[in-house]
Amino acid sequence: MKINFDEVDYKEMYKVGNVIKDCDDILFLVVESSSGGYALVNLTDNIVTATHETLKELADINEDEGDTLVNAEINVF
């Protein structure tokens, strides 16, 4: 995995497919649920957060000024 960190407005980070590093250095992937709504997948512990109806709601509950957008390239072999 190759990871680069970019500074972006934290409100713009919460989009499907984005990887976010929080202030505790944990990586999260923003996903759309198959049953509708949006959630975060903790890439360290493989845990999915509660699903929220909109990306705005997901961001409002989870955003932190210490969040960083990660430019991650994930290779699956």
- Cβ neighbours, 10 Å, residue 49: 15
pTM, entire model: 0.80
pLDDT digits (tens, 9 = 90+) for 49-75: 889 999 999 999 988 878 888 888 777
Q: Indicate the helix (H) or strand (E) that contains 52.
A: none
Q: What is the 3-state secondary structure (H, E, C) of 42-64?
A: ECCCCEECCCECCHHHHHHHHCC
3: confidence class by pLDDT, cuts 50, 70, 90: low
What pLDDT shows up at residue 67?
87
